[in-house]
Chains A and B, each alone.
Chain A
């Protein structure tokens, strides 16, 4: 039930993000979701793409440092308290969110959010026992 995310180290200077999108565009890779964490000197770009291997290959051969991490895609009811309910379940069980970001969907009743947990297995178990939909990789990449 995990989803693979790739992350890229970027120096905080103009044109670096555009360089990544250019490489992915040339490789025919589609970006499904992204989040950028930045400091004054550098940034870490996290991406969910439709083809991880192709994306990593293309970025690494262009000299980027690329990492991969397991994250969890969770269906969040699109109504007040939808996200809060999920976070409370995790909080009660002492599972922490390292970071999270939204996944763009064309339509639907639920939003999808990408979570990076400190304890991924425990988080998935908790969410599923509480009736929350966790979306697997192949389904997500095709969404």
Chain B
């Protein structure tokens, strides 16, 4: 979770959560405990960073996009077809005012929809809804972008470890918990417990060093990872956002 500095706006203190999705009850807890108003802000480093869109205090219903700087579009991620307002699809940005690093129809891979209806706050900028998912398999774990393929390459580089794995993401006490299940093949199996525990630790260490995210590693029996139509299910995301 990354937080921008709280700032003072119309006599109420605000806190911003950046891109990482914040659960409703977590937001309420932050507001109650810190006695402030929390609003969602959206941005991605390729486009600007935080500040591409933000909720208004008045409605807190959707994030107003800074349309004087960015042209938003929603597309069908499979065909690239531009979809009308209200449809759910992938969010695409074109920058109007950026000079050094302009983007043209930049695909964010974030899935959302755009609402053009007038807002009670008086702003006429369109509002995007909360990002509900991704058009690729990227996961955001405690603010770190993680692709399953990165975990796979960590496993592939380890002697004897087979890349049969599954990522399970949970949320405990408002924190993302990543568990990597790895199937135990004959090459790494031992009749002693310690080498197996050491293997769990070294996989976890390599993931932390390469990807920068802490993960709990759990060894599982071969073929125990759920397969759907012959293909392993790589990600189980149990977070409710």
Q: Which residues does A use to contact B, with CB under 8 Å?
A: 5, 7, 9-11, 16, 37-39, 41-42, 44, 46, 63-67, 69, 98-99, 116
Asked if B221 contacts A37 (CB within 8 A), the reply is: no
Partner of A65, one of B185, B192, B218: B185
Asked if B196 contacts A64 (CB within 8 A), the reply is: no
Q: How far is the CB of A36 from chain B (nearest CB, A)?
A: 10
Asked if A67 contacts B189 (CB within 8 A), the reply is: yes
Q: Which residues does B use to contact A, with CB under 8 Å?
A: 184-186, 189-193, 196-197, 218-224
Known A-B contacts A39-B197, A65-B185; the reply to A9 vs B192 at CB < 8 A is no
Asked if A63 contacts B222 (CB within 8 A), the reply is: yes
Instruction: Return the chain B residue nearest A45 by Cβ.
Output: B191
Q: How far is the CB of A67 from chain B (nearest CB, A)?
A: 5
Give bound CA distance, A41 to B168, whole Å.
Answer: 15
Asked if B190 contacts A44 (CB within 8 A), the reply is: yes
Known A-B contacts A5-B191, A46-B191, A116-B191; the reply to A67 vs B186 at CB < 8 A is yes
Partner of B193, one of A16, A37, A69: A37
Instruction: Return the chain A residue nearest B223 by Cβ.
Output: A63
Instruction: Return the chain A residue nearest B188 by Cβ.
Output: A65
Asked if A65 contacts B224 (CB within 8 A), the reply is: no
Known A-B contacts A9-B219, A9-B221, A10-B221; the reply to A65 vs B189 at CB < 8 A is yes
Give bound CA distance, A65 to B224, whole Å.
Answer: 11
